[in-house]
Amino acid sequence: MPAAIELCEVHKRFGDLQALSGIDLEVPQGEFFGLLGPNGAGKTTLISVLAGLVRADRGTVRVMGHDVRADYRAARRSLGVVPQELVFDPFFTVRETLRIQSGYFGMRDNRAWIDEVMHNLDLASKADVNMRALSGGMKRRVLVAQALVHKPPVIVLDEPTAGVDVELRQALWEFIRRLNRDGHTIVLTTHYLEEAEALCERIAMLKLGRVVALDSTPNLLKRVHHLFLRLRLGGQLPEELRPLEHGSTADAHVLRLKSYDDVEQALSSIRRAGCRIEEMELAQPDLEDAFVDVMRRS
Amino acid sequence: MSGFPTLLWKEVLRFWKVSTQTIGAPVLTAVLFLFIFGHVMEGRVRMYDSIPYTAFLVPGLVMMSVLQNAFANSSSSLIQSKITGNIIFVLLPPLAYWEFFAAYVLAAVARGMVVGTAVMLVTLPFVHMEFRHPLWVLAFAFCGSAVLGALGMMAGIWAEKIDQVASFQNFLIMPLTFLSGVFYSIHSLPVFWQGLSHFNPFFYMIDGFRYGFFGVSDAHPAKSLAVVAAFLVLVSGLTLAVLRSGYKLRH
């Protein structure tokens, strides 16, 4: 069974900017995969290379085993892309937009699936409304629907929830999870790391056009060897704990600790100082901590 | 199944949905030209010895509308899609570069034909027209609008701003159509300008188109069709090469 996505030694340069520097990546079929990185890391270029919008200078790119240059028709049929920018064609209604997009993929009689996609994305009531009259969130839903009209086995979502309200975000993830359960491969880029942590089985982190981390989400989290102790105190934090402070706020102190043993020691220090603990919370590192850690080290 | 018919249908639907602007406006412009020039010149000049000036003018105005609107269709569609970013919707699907070319050019031909037919129908009550060789009329209308559709694609692909397309239209297409014999027979020009007109491919489009109505022309219609067809092959070849390279569309 071919990989859903396969990139081998992919390079891309725009003038003086080396956007991709030898990317090697394989995403098996059915995986929910995350692609993370700071702005300018090369995520959108990588997606554009996959989609045939940008041609790689070197390297091989395959979607479901189809080369994106030599066998572009099969490769593009296998891929649905939700672009980052909120783009739309102002001449058409939602239904027309989806029928046209479906037709571009050679699917003429696709009404049942278009209706199902619109229903799942809560677009049915807007089916005959012109794209210009839709809110930003609704336009985003149409972009998602456009990527799905040809039932692609691989779906790439480039920051699909940027500027989207909570209700749509939840509905969207529920729908995408269902597609993933049905066997679709999902590739997600997002700046909301809690979303990536909750959804992605495996994550690649990009920096300056290189993959600097590639592992399962639990393994990436395990790389961060510390805990966070959040405290609200009825007095001053003892001086000896000040060096452990990490991102404290006005009403709470957050201590970064290496192990559970350090928790005991921190609490002893507070007791010795005669300070009262009003609220306490122990947190495991999250993907944001892992991300910051990887970016700092690489 | 190919996505080509859908792209063609979408491009036709795009101009049809704003027909007041894309069909109504050019028809009004052509009718104003006819009334003004017809009123001033009628009775003073007879073309090819026997044709009243207003009747002579109508095929020229029709073909000018066909050409300008064919160019406007493909160029405006591409530049708008590039500027708004929705060009991505036609770049993501499995469309071959030649399907892309054929859809945009045929939609441009369709708009040219619709506008040309509308101008013809609106002017018919005011002028007695002959239709001696309708197949020549269709052949020149098709080839001419296809040339301009392909040129419009080149302009739309090359341009990054709407005013660059407007410059292409105002400083190249408009002068070439106006100086191609829409309003006069080149035999009424001084010898130097007559000679120069033979290097303007738009002259052959309009002259050959007019031959289909009256059976007379400045150049032999077969020669005109050969020139227009050669120009079509040249412009199409260039546009296809540009599309294949991905210039300004696929980085």
Residue B158 has pLDDT above 90, yes or no: yes
Mean pLDDT over B155-184 rounds to 88
Does ipTM surpass 0.90 in this model? no
Residue B76 has pLDDT above 70, yes or no: yes
Report the distance separating Cα A237 and Cα A273, nearest Å. 8
Q: How confident is the model at residue B130 (pLDDT cuts 50, 70, 90)?
A: confident
Considering the four listed CATH numbers 2.30.30, 1.10.1760, 3.30.70, 2.60.480, the one that applies to the domain covering A224-297 is 3.30.70
Residue A293 has pLDDT above 80, yes or no: no
Give A10-33 pLDDT, tens digit per residue.
999 998 889 999 899 999 999 999
Fold of the domain built from segment(s) A5-221 = Rossmann fold (3.40.50)
Give A212-259 pLDDT, tens digit per residue.
888 888 887 777 777 888 888 888 888 888 888 877 777 788 888 888
- Side-chain-side CA neighbours of A259 within 13 Å: the count stands at 1
The pLDDT > 90 percentage for chain A reads 46
B129 or B133, which is more confident: B133
A166 or B247, which is more confident: B247
Mean residue pLDDT of chain A comes to 88
The pLDDT > 90 percentage for chain B reads 65
Testing the interface with A: which of B21, B89, B249 to mutate, by most A Cβ within 10 A?
B89
* Domain spans, chain A: 5-221, 224-297
Testing the interface with B: which of A13, A44, A91 to mutate, by most B Cβ within 10 A?
A91
Give A104-127 pLDDT, tens digit per residue.
999 888 899 999 999 988 899 999
- Both tokens of A70, joined, read 């030599």
Interface of B with A (CB under 8 A): 1-3, 5-7, 9-10, 13-14, 17-18, 81, 84-86, 88-96, 246, 250-251
B69 or A275, which is more confident: B69
Report the distance separating Cα A236 and Cα A117, nearest Å. 56
In sequence order, the 6+-apart residues with CB closer than 8 A to the CB of A12 are A18, A19, A20, A42, A45, A49, A54, A56, A57, A209
Whether A89 sits inside 8 A of B86 (CB atoms) is yes
* Domain spans, chain B: 4-245
Whether A104 sits inside 8 A of B246 (CB atoms) is no
Q: What is the DSSP string of chain A?
A: ---SEEEEEEEEEETTEEEEEEEEEEE-TT-EEEEE--TTSSHHHHHHHHHTSS--SEEEEEETTEETTTTHHHHHHTEEEE-SS----TTSBHHHHHHHHHHHTT--S-HHHHHHHHHHTT-GGGTTSBGGGS-HHHHHHHHHHHHHTT--SEEEEESTTTT--HHHHHHHHHHHHHHHHTT-EEEEE-S-HHHHHHH-SEEEEEETTEEEEEEEHHHHHHT---EEEEEEESSPPPGGGGGGB-S--SS-EEEEESSHHHHHHHHHHHHHTTPPEEEEEEE---HHHHHHHHHHH-
To which residue do tokens 């104003």 refer?
B32
Whether A54 sits inside 8 A of B250 (CB atoms) is yes
- Both tokens of A189, joined, read 């880029």
Q: How confident is the model at residue B188 (pLDDT cuts 50, 70, 90)?
A: confident
Q: What is the model's pLDDT at position B45?
A: 64
Q: What is the model's pLDDT at position A264?
A: 86
Q: How confident is the model at residue B46 (pLDDT cuts 50, 70, 90)?
A: low
User: Quick one: how far is CA B37 from the chain centroid?
Assistant: 21
Report the distance separating Cα A110 and Cα B6, nearest Å. 13
Mean pLDDT over B210-217 rounds to 90
Local structure of B51: helix, strand or coil: strand
Backbone phi, psi, residue A7, to 5° = -120, 130
Q: What is the model's pLDDT at position B121?
A: 93
Antiparallel, parallel or unpaired: β A154-158 and B46-47: unpaired
Residue A64, min C-alpha distance to chain B (Å): 15
